[in-house]
Amino acid sequence: MISASPSRVSRRAILFLFALIMGIPGVVRSATLDDSAREFARKIAAALPSRENVAWEIHNLSSLPADEAARVEQTLKAELQNQNVSAPDGGAPIAVVVTLSENVNSYVWTAEIHRAENLQIAVMSFPRPLENRIVSNAVLTTLHGEKIWEWPERIVDVTFALLPNHEQRMIVLLPDGLLITKAEPGATFKKVEFPPAAANVDREPAGNLRQVGNRVESVLNGQECDVDFDAGTLVRCYTPPAPENVPPVEAAVSEKPPYGDQAWKLPGICGIGDAVLASGRGDYTQPDSARVFENKTAISNELNLPGPVLKFSEGADTQFVTAIVRNLKDGDYEVYRLFTSCGQ
């Protein structure tokens, strides 16, 4: 969980302590993380409207290894208990969502405190240890991420569309239809179900969405469906004829890139015209990451994610890329908003 209160340790004191014992960087790193976690827990506790009936979750989107993120979580939990913050005991709990993220020079931790329709945010940042900073000249952009939605079933694709009144809606493609909702906690949704596809359904469905006027067009399992997302109604579904006399395409042989099978071409960012957002090279049983590359060179920090990246996508009216991730801890499917800022 998380907390909120004024910082008791000045940045100068932290740097002085680091300089004093820089000969043992592992100890400094441990002390910095543990002390920061305790301070953040106190900050969260101070921001809570009540210290009873509090549920919390934590997401590591930083470069912290899994064992260090777990230690941060344990330290947060212990200090919250010291601050008399108790677990849910029935009724609607206060939900606290902690996200561990970073930029090139600092760790940035945020806590979203949700109670009914109210939202409070506590933020804390502190310098990353020098041996853990990304100082290469190749680092030209910082990659940020935040979880914006989750669902217990398979998410095939996500896009964002604008209503005639310019309100934004998030469109989520599922194996049997799509959801129309907003990218915010507790938002209501409308599900539009599709008729069963005539083609065989893949075990691992592949599909995509795109907005055309006030409709969203989906392609899934060989079937195309149009939905009026303003009215929330299915317009039609049909199976297009298979193309005839299509010559086979021979795949070009090229050197394997230094990233995984999910990649998304980015528009010109930070003066770079050939940037690619890509996943890591692990399999679907491992936590994953996202990073920006130019050609074969990493030019951003590595953003850790709680499971494999299944797909990157982008809405026509958004300035960010979404990542669909399967959380290996609870099995849910999550949608992350990824965006970049220039420089270190």
In the prediction, which pLDDT does 250 show? 60
- Give CA separation, 225 vs 177, 205, 209, in Å: 9, 15, 10
Angle at 90 between CA 88 and CA 93, to 5 degrees: 50
pLDDT tens digits, 32-65: 889 999 999 999 999 998 888 898 888 888 878 8
In the prediction, which pLDDT does 193 show? 95
Q: How many CA atoms lie within 13 A of 235 on its CB side?
A: 14
Give dist(CA 187, CA 290) in Å, integer: 27
Q: What is the pTM of this model?
A: 0.67
Q: Residue type for 249, please?
A: V
In the prediction, which pLDDT does 40 show? 94
Alpha helical stretches, state H, the chain = 11-20, 25-47, 66-82
**Which residues, 6 or more positions from 148, have their beta carbon under 8 angstroms from its beta carbon?**
170, 183, 184, 322, 335, 336, 337
Q: Are 315 and 159 in contact (CB under 8 A)?
A: yes
Mean pLDDT in consecutive groups of 10 residues from the start of the chain, 344 residues: 34 33 38 87 91 87 83 92 87 84 79 81 80 53 87 94 84 94 83 81 78 90 91 92 67 69 85 87 90 88 92 80 94 92 69
In the prediction, which pLDDT does 289 show? 93
**Residue count (the chain):** 344
Q: Token pair of 7, please?
A: 């910082």
Instruction: Kindly list the structural domains of the chain, giving each domain's residue range(s) and its CATH number in brackets, ordered by start.
Output: 11-133 (3.40.50), 135-205+254-344 (no CATH)
Q: Which residues are 264's β-sheet partners?
A: 277
Q: Which residues are 120's β-sheet partners?
A: 113
Rg (CA), the chain: 22
